């Protein structure tokens, strides 16, 4: 073998070696480094919101399993379901041979996530707490799935529309107080740590439980009556959402009732931390800027 042939052989071996030992690493929302030997092509999603994020990042075709209520986009409905987000079937997940599981940090049982890791499963934990975390998550998922061009385009589109909404609905010093109801029995709300609260804040409102340390809180009706918020916002649509609002109408002396400031919003566009939260901002802002 002459020197020229030896040179090209060495270069070829270098590329082969690089391909064999290349690693893809990102830091997830738990602060953990997730490292893959190669891009993820068999993925399991453990929340409906995570499913949306994976599709937004261009990896919908790699999903082999999702949890119940993964219903957006339409293609997500065709993916095999493996149970609920709060009761993970470890055996069913392992049977799918995933090279990546994308979990919901505050929603999935921590013990079961730990079990998956101990079994050698690569787990990325998602927990967007700020608007910027959504495009950041999409881009990181794009790196893990080798769909970066699609993911980065989706992220840029999100940032552009968010900026437009922020310009259309500027914040002022005169904020309306808002009670955000996420459940009825027991009566529940969220603190400022949840992204729904950030939506309300963007729309010139102030969550009356903004400063609480817990992510979610159980309450009694008397607490809300005493706080007398300007607006009551329930995260339910249809007959159920109307039933929740009807219960508040019994208290005619409340400012939100007497001023007809009772609203309902589709939970999927505010509870799920996905690009659709921009639709949630648009809808909630239309309520809070209505008068």
Answer whether residue 14 shows pLDDT above 80.
no
Structure confidence at residue 67 as a pLDDT band (50, 70, 90)? very high
Give the model's pLDDT for residue 291.
56
Model's pTM, two decimal places? Answer: 0.88
Give the model's pLDDT for residue 17.
45
**What confidence tens digit (pLDDT) does each residue in 170-229 have?**
988 789 999 999 999 999 999 999 999 999 999 999 999 999 999 999 999 999 999 999
Give the model's pLDDT for residue 174.
85
Structure confidence at residue 238 as a pLDDT band (50, 70, 90)? confident
179, 231 contact by CB (below 8 A): yes
Q: What is the mean pLDDT of the chain?
A: 92
Give the model's pLDDT for residue 22.
59
Site of tokens 């809808």? 283
User: 79, exposed or middle or buried, with CB in 10 Å at 0-12, 13-18, 19+?
Assistant: middle
Domain with CATH 3.40.50.1980 in the chain: 22-163, 172-288
Structure confidence at residue 290 as a pLDDT band (50, 70, 90)? low
Question: Into which CATH architecture does domain 172-288 fall?
Answer: 3-Layer(aba) Sandwich (3.40)
**Which distant-in-sequence residues (6+ apart) come within 8 Å of 75 by Cβ?**
55, 60
Nearest to 129 by CA among 287, 283, 277: 277
- Highest mean pLDDT pick, 34-43, 163-172, 282-291: 34-43
The share of the chain scoring above pLDDT 90, in percent, equals 86
Structure confidence at residue 82 as a pLDDT band (50, 70, 90)? very high
Question: Into which CATH architecture does domain 22-163 fall?
Answer: 3-Layer(aba) Sandwich (3.40)
Alpha helical stretches, state H, 75-177: 90-95, 110-118, 133-145, 148-168
**What confidence tens digit (pLDDT) does each residue in 130-152 have?**
999 999 999 999 999 999 999 99
**Which distant-in-sequence residues (6+ apart) come within 8 Å of 239 by Cβ?**
none
Which range has the worst mean pLDDT, 8-12, 192-196, 220-224, 264-268? 8-12
Give the model's pLDDT for residue 246.
92
Give the model's pLDDT for residue 132.
96
């Amino acid at each position: 073998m002459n020197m020229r042939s030896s040179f090209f052989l060495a270069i070829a071996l270098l590329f082969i070696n690089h391909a064999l030992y290349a690693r893809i690493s990102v830091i997830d929302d738990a602060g953990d480094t997730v490292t893959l030997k190669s891009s993820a092509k068999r993925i399991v999603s453990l929340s409906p919101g995570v499913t949306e994020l994976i599709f937004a990042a261009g990896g919908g075709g790699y999903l082999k399993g999702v949890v119940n209520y993964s219903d957006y986009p339409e293609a997500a409905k065709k993916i095999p379901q493996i149970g609920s987000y709060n009761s993970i079937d470890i055996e069913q997940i392992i049977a799918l041979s995933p090279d990546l599981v994308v979990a919901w940090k505050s929603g999935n049982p921590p013990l079961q996530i730990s079990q998956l890791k101990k079994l050698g499963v690569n787990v990325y934990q998602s927990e967007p707490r700020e608007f910027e975390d959504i495009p950041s998550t999409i881009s990181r998922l794009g790196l893990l799935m080798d769909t970066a061009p699609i993911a980065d385009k989706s992220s840029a589109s999100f940032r552009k529309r968010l900026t437009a909404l922020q310009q259309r609905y500027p914040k002022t010093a005169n904020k309306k107080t808002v009670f955000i109801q996420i459940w009825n029995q027991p009566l529940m709300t969220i603190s400022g740590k949840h992204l729904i609260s950030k939506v309300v804040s963007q729309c010139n409102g102030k969550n009356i439980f903004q400063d609480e340390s817990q992510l979610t809180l159980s309450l009694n009706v008397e607490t809300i009556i005493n706080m007398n918020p300007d607006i009551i916002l329930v995260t339910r649509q249809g007959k159920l959402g109307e039933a929740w609002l009807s219960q508040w109408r019994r208290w005619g002396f409340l400012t939100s009732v007497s001023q007809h400031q009772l609203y309902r919003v589709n939970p999927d566009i505010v509870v799920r931390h996905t690009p659709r939260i921009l639709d949630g901002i648009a809808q909630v802002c239309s309520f809070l800027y209505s008068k």
